[in-house]
Structure 1
Amino acid sequence: MTSRSDFKSFEQEETERLRDLLPASLRPLISIVPNFGGDALLLSRRKAPWQPQGTVAIDFRRWQGIPQPQRDLLFLREVGWFDNRNWLQPGFYQSLALIGGITTLAELSLQHPFSALLAGGITALSVRQIWQNLNRESAHFDADEFALRRAQYRGYTRQEAAQHLVDGLEQTLKLDPTDILTALRLQRLKAIALNLHP
């Protein structure tokens, strides 16, 4: 049985090792912290939706029992999911929401209720579209792809990385046979692992 001091040592060393896996641009933005309680092995959250900084919380007790290559790919996949869900990524709807918000405030200060209502509606629609884009199905595939690309910088081949991610997902997820999205992701990753997919 692992002693408390050994576990703490693993937690600290693993945190440093995972930080080293992060792209340099994300290191100042992501904190790796222990996740106490809950069913999630990995959980990423932003300080606020409009802030780029956030945390990836890890259940290190369960994490310790997973082979390192699988840990690498699961972590990179979570980072990819976190990075893809950035409200502040430049885009048409982000710009529209910003302009709409500024216009709403300006029209309210000028006491033009109809114009403020119109600008507020545009802002709300833009925010709704951003939310839908962040939660679209392709965002999951983008996060998988981020993990595969980043793993290649750490010495994995694309095929090896895909297989490790498949193994990690199958080991850590309670796979629901009716979850079509996860089934499609696993099918795609298995095809990459067998070099059947570009």
Structure 2
Amino acid sequence: MSIDAEISRLLDMMPASGRMLTKIISQPQQSKVIDAPFAPPWNRESRPIYINFDLWRRLPRGQRDLLILRATSSLINIRWFKPDINQLIVLAGTIGLMVETGQGDAVGILIAAGLTAISIRQIWRDNRNIQRELDTDEAAIKVSLRRGYTEVEAAQNLLQGIENAAKIEGRSILNFTELIRSQHLKSLANLSSIDVPEKIDF
């Protein structure tokens, strides 16, 4: 497998927003097959997707396709800047912090900084919860439908990709989040009649 040719093929798989906002980087020393680290809000361009191509080549093409679509979806669907109460508290806290700093009010500074930190943490949690992981899987499957996959095929490939990537990485069991995702994907792939609850948040 030529790394350049595979990167070019993977870029063709991505939606246009994925090509604009992410960058595939070869990372032969990493233990993970593919890694799309959580992107902070100031990094709005070239969010990296790291791939160990020595491990990557051991996955069938369909599984590689769904794993790259899933990684892309996880990076382009981060909602740091959606208008909600946490956004307003961050804004108010930041303004308050600047005002209180200018006035030299130590108590005011602590309160404003605390409000800002709590709200930022909540926004971070909202982007890292289990429900968001399931939504990201479904977003990847939705994109795959425009690339010639059926929903069942896509769910099966993503499910098998999760399982096989873990084996390649030397992990004998999936982590909790992967187990929940796998059960949901089994339901989408018609492999199980049991799905996870409609809305979950851990």
Same fold (TM over 0.5): yes
Specify the SS of the correspondent of 1:135. Answer: coil
- What is the CA distance between 1:90 and its match in structure 2? 4.3
- 8 Å contact from structure 1 (residues 50, 88) kept in 2: no
Shift of 1:60: 0.9
What runs of 5+ residues in structure 2 fail to find an aligned partner? 196-202
TM-score of the superposed pair, with normalisation by structure 2: 0.83
Deviations 1:144-195 (A, max 9, x none): 1111111011111111100111111111113526x44322221221121128
SS at match of 2:36: strand
CA distance in 2, matches of 1:79, 1:91: 24
CA distance in 2, matches of 1:183, 1:125: 29
| TM-score computed with the length of structure 1 as normaliser | 0.84
1:130 Cα offset (Å): 1.4
Within the alignment, does 1:37 sit opposite 2:29 as a pair? yes
Which position in structure 2 is the counterpart of 1:4?
none
Q: Distance in 1 between matches of 2:172 and 2:181?
A: 12
Does residue 181 in structure 1 map to residue 177 in structure 2? yes
Structure 1 position 28, deviation (Å): 1.8
Match of 1:23 among 10, 15, 20: 15
Report if the CA contact (8 A) 2:22-2:75 is conserved: no
Cα 1:48–1:182, aligned 2, differ >3 Å: closer, same or farther? closer
Which of 169, 180, 196 in structure 1 is aligned with 2:162?
A: 169
Aligned pair partner of 1:136 in 129, 136, 143? 129
Native 8 Å contact 2:97 2:112 kept in 1: yes
Shift of 1:121: 1.4
Structure 1's 91 and 19: CA in aligned 2 closer, same or farther, altered over 3 A?
A: farther
Matched, 1:120 2:125: no
% same residue: 32
SS of 1:126's partner is helix
SS in 1 for 2:20: coil
Aligned to 1:145: 138
Instruction: Provide the aligned C-alpha RMSD in A.
Output: 2.3
String of CA shifts for 1:40-92, please: whole Å, max 9, x gaps: 11112367453222110111111122111110001111122223445344443
Provide the C-alpha distance between the structure 2 equivalents of 1:20 and 1:89, rounded to a whole number of angstroms. 28
Tell me by how many angstroms 1:98 deviates. 2.7
Deviates more, 1:98-107 or 1:54-63: 98-107
In 2, Cα distance between equivalents of 1:90 and 1:16: 36
Code of the residue aligned with 1:23 in structure 2: it is: P
More relative contact order in 1 or in 2 (CA 8 Å, sep 6+)? 2
CA 1:87–1:175: 2 relative to 1, 3 Å: farther
Distance 2:35 2:79 in 1: 15
> Who is 1:3 aligned against?
none
In 2, distance between residues paired with 1:83 and 1:106? 34
Q: 1:63 to 1:89 in 2, by over 3 A?
A: farther
Contact 2:156–2:186 at 8 Å: present in 1 too? yes
State the one-letter code of the partner of 1:129.
Answer: Q
| Separation in 1, partners of 2:176, 2:64 | 24
In structure 2, how many angstroms separate the alpha carbons of the residues matched to 1:182 and 1:64?
21
Are the equivalent residues in 1 in contact too, given 2:18–2:73 (CA < 8 A)? no
